[in-house]
Chains A and B, each alone.
Chain A
Amino acid sequence: MSKIIEIENLTKTFGKVVGVDDISLSVEQGEFVTLLGPSGCGKSTLLRMIGGFEEPTSGRILLDGQDVTHVPPSKRAVNMVFQDYALFPHLSVGKNVGYGLRVAGMPRREVREKALEALALVGLEDRFDAAPHMLSGGQRQRVALARAIVRRPKVLLLDEPLSALDANLREQMQVELKALHTKMGLTFILVTHDQTEALTMSDRIVVMRGGKIVQMGSPVDLYERPATSYVAGFIGSTNQFRSVVATGPTGPQVQCFGQPISAPAGVAPGQEALFGFRPEKALVQFGEEGGGPDTLRGSVADILYHGQSVRLMIDLGAGEVLVDLPMSGSDGMPQVGDAVSLRVGADKIMVLADEVAA
């Protein structure tokens, strides 16, 4: 695989505010990369610099080996799907899609063919003559997509493309986007603040905060091995607790809200660290008995019904943790106040690095 985009020490400042802070990143040909983070983390600025809409303060951007740092957007072989779709309201769907090709001087008939082809990819070839304002939000989204891929860009940039859609449509579009990516073999760079979107579609997720990359990796990497408390909290939920590693009867132990459980690998006695476990990783047992090693005892403090599972808030005495209980059988609903034991194996506990001051 070859690197289609190489970003070297890219910085963008707006006055005194640092938008993107010395980022280096490379993207492989055909990869689906997601820039994930809360608003203001610099992800959109980074994307817009790749698109050419923002001039970097320093650093370089290479596209397919060519330095494009100062090349205007009209001369870059990348295309963008805008958050508000940016469809030209005075042009029909077909003319929107064919716009760039026509201005480039392609014969009318060929423009039409290409536009129809692109619209077919998103399933809208029959709306060629429709006006944008007559389309639904999802359809507009697809037209924007068709317009962005009609020129076969080297990289497709997507700036929060699904944020304006309602939940159902958003899930459907996630599937379609992923399918389109697979079918076309294009490189996609997506910006989002929605972790589900990132987990569902990406080959690789780049988590950003304060203009810097906090962690990057595959969705599984990030979910299973978040490097910091921030990533752990941003992608999925995590029960976090700080503890000093002590030596117990069966080996090193940590205190989870006052109750000892086995420490995970990689930490030595005497070390203080931040630990966490995912709600669905705890094994839940009801009743007074039950116990054994690595078990936390508490009672149900609150119940959130999710359909396929139930999220329980468990009062451990010195603190509260969340656990997920799959609703597989006819177990019956737990009640607030029920005694409960949680088994959290050492392999389920993550060690989270301290946050770097941003």
Chain B
Amino acid sequence: MKKRLTLLAQTSFSALCAVSIASGAMAGELNILTWEGYADPSVIEPFTAATGCEVSATYVGSNDDFAPKLAAGGGVFDIVTPSIDSTYALIEAGFVQPIDVSRVPAFKDIYEQFRTADGILKDGKVYGVPYAWGAIPFMYRKDKFDTPPTSIKALWDPALEGRISLWDDKSALYVAARLNGNMNIYELSDAELAAAVDKLVEQRPLVRKYWATAGELVDLYKSDEVWISNTWGGYQSGLLAAENIEVVEFIPEEGAEGWMDSNMIVADTPNEECAYQFLNMAISAQGQEGVFKVNGYSSTNPVAAKEFMSDSEFSALHQDDPAYLDSLLLWENLGDRLPVYTNAWNSVKSQ
């Protein structure tokens, strides 16, 4: 009886797989789990026209969305685009598969810092193709400040009570730790984390709202609720500029976090051919121009970037300035400290 049941289960399972493989192959359809702007029609439509690969995108609000969605299983996604702090966990969990870089010719053009980053390598194999990068700077409403803020301290200034916002993310701990003088923000000890929590609890009465999505932060500025916050460099400021609200981004004295997003192929995807096509397109001039135009993020492929950026844009996005990148505290995988950080951040919000 038991055997028959298993057999039955196996049969139906493989039947299901066959169906999904068949439909996937026939349509040449890619499901990608990524950030808003990363699957813009201006890029996707030419890609589909050229390759016949249909693309449908699902958007995440946070890096924390990738692992749970993949852990839930179901073989839904073919490509994910996590940031450098989340990539390694996906590799270790076996959610993504190694990439054959010989099938990605432009890989060698990518900044060395990125293509050799620890987060996308394991056992000598490459698991991610760096796509875009930037900083988590701070920004403020230009019309509300006589003297431009230069330090994170501004976000603890009682004079700005009710005008401050901070990303609803463990990143808040990174900010507070730096204010405490702990620059090892990805390796904080329990005591240092506790100090960061205290700092955030102290700040909380001044906070108008912790922002959770890019759109929410834009709304908060638009509706005059918030004057100063951290931000996804280039993105929200661009959206606000389009609304005629002048904000200024700045890297505080205490430094800023940096991030880099890579495209990864989900393990055992039935659409590998399309997936490689997509990876190549993403770091081509066409793909890099897309993310530059839509999100305002910097390119990981300077060779491609030169093709569409003017010289001034090239330097404005720090494409000619590897030292700038070094000055950023590039996000790191927190490993088994991740739940400790998350709980610390939750405990701030539980106060």
Tell whether any CB of A sits under 8 Å from a CB of B in the complex.
no
